[in-house]
Structure 1
Amino acid sequence: MKRTEQVTLTNMCMVKNGDKILVLNRTDPVWPGLTFPGGHVEAHESFHDSVVREIKEETGLTIKNPKLVGIKQFYDHNNERYLVLFYTANKFTGQLHSSDEGELTWMTESELKQHQLAYNFDHDLPLFFDENLTEHILDGKRDELF
């Protein structure tokens, strides 16, 4: 029995400033809509360093002390595991600027939920807001939060 497999590692971070949340309106035609900034973990990069780097690249902000709050897993079109590490951060420095990923906006949680979200992102949101949830499993048979 093989104990290793091909896995794509990514991250996403909800940056908070008081009651406002930093939201990215993605321009990517494959996964458009509102979501949180984030991206891929590079080879030999720690998860912490990857989320700090991705937020800096996409927003101009340097987050401090990102907290891991959950994980999402699914299988991509090649039937390979895809993991998204979910973080929150409420301390940051820098000047906010949008990137090629899309426009950035500060919104409240209720404002966010009234807009067009990226596909299936509404199923991810509870992990950012409910400390009793830590995992979202999405595959052909189930879409469950734990």
Structure 2
Amino acid sequence: MSGPINYKFWTICIIEKEGKILLLDRQHGNFKGFLPPGGKVDFPESFVDSAKREVKEETGLTVRNLTYKGLYEYVNEVKKDRFIIFHYYTKDFEGKILEYPPEGKVDWYPIESLEELPMQESFRRRIPYLLKEGTFEIQVEWDEENNREGRIQVSNT
């Protein structure tokens, strides 16, 4: 394949407390639904620093002792795009949730009720891997012609 490949990096951080995880009810842009805090990695910051910054900006909480859980990537061979999302997990945080968060209302949701929440299928697919031991890698080939996910390959330890 000739020509440059477009790499873009994001992070997501799962914060757990007493059988609940912190989610944003995001109702704008392309990623509507319930999602964990996260966002684009700013060059030249590290992925962990990006995850910590995004949590602080979107929730007001300060997180520590992040555990790397895995990555989720979209590969679009037609556009030569490779979007990679690094996932982290923690129970170690402090602070108060923002009263008016920029990305949407932030609240704690019981893990057993996550199936009932409206969220993107791509995030729903990751939840089991984020909440169990080990790491994962999920690669999704984007079907440009039909503007949807194509082949999905999952690897986990």
Structures share fold, TM-score greater than 0.5: yes
Partner of 1:113, secondary structure, is helix
CA distance in 2, matches of 1:62, 1:132: 24
AA aligned to 1:82 is F
- Judge conservation of contact 1:26–1:101 (CA < 8 Å) in 2: yes
1:78-97 residue pairs with structure 2 within 5 A?
A: 78-97=79-98
> 1:29: how far off?
3.4
Change (3 A) 1:22 1:74: same
> Residue 99 and residue 79 in structure 1: after superposition, are their counterparts in 2 closer, same or farther (change >3 A)?
farther
Q: Where in structure 2 are the equivalents of 1:7-22 lying within 5 Å?
A: 7-22=7-22
Q: Deviations over 1:50-78 (max 9, x none)?
A: 11100000000000111110100103694
Confirm whether residue 138 of structure 1 aligns to residue 155 of structure 2. Answer: no
Counterpart secondary structure, 1:142: strand
Bigger-Rg structure (1/2): 2
Counterpart contact for 1:14–1:21, Cα < 8 Å: yes
- In structure 2, the gaps of 5 or more residues are 144-149
> What is the TM-score with the length of structure 1 in the denominator?
0.90
The AA in structure 1 aligned to 2:117 is H
Contact 1:25 1:102 in 2 (8 A): yes
Asked if structure 2 preserves the Cα contact closer than 8 Å seen for 1:72 and 1:85, the reply is yes
Deviations, residues 17-66 of structure 1 (Å, cap 9, x unaligned) = 12111011112231100111101110110111111100000000000111
Aligned residue pairs total 146
Aligned to 2:116, the other structure's residue is in SS state: coil
Aligned residues: CA RMSD: 2.1
Contact 2:68 2:135 in 1 (8 A): no
Partner of 1:68: 68
Whether the aligned pair in 2 keeps the contact of 1:17 and 1:90 (CA below 8 Å) is yes
Equivalent-residue separation in structure 2 for 1:32 and 1:38 (angstroms)? 13
Question: What secondary structure, in the 3-state scheme, does the structure 2 residue paired with 1:28 have?
Answer: coil
| Alignment correspondent of 1:120 | 122
Equivalent residue, structure 1, for 2:147: none
Segments of 4+ in structure 1 off by > 4 A? none
After superposition, give the CA deviation of every residue in 1:77-128 in whole Å (9 maximum; x if it has no partner): 9441000001101011111115221111101111122111124211121220
Which piece of structure 1 moves more, 111-120 or 56-65? Answer: 111-120
2:40 — aligned with what?
Answer: 40
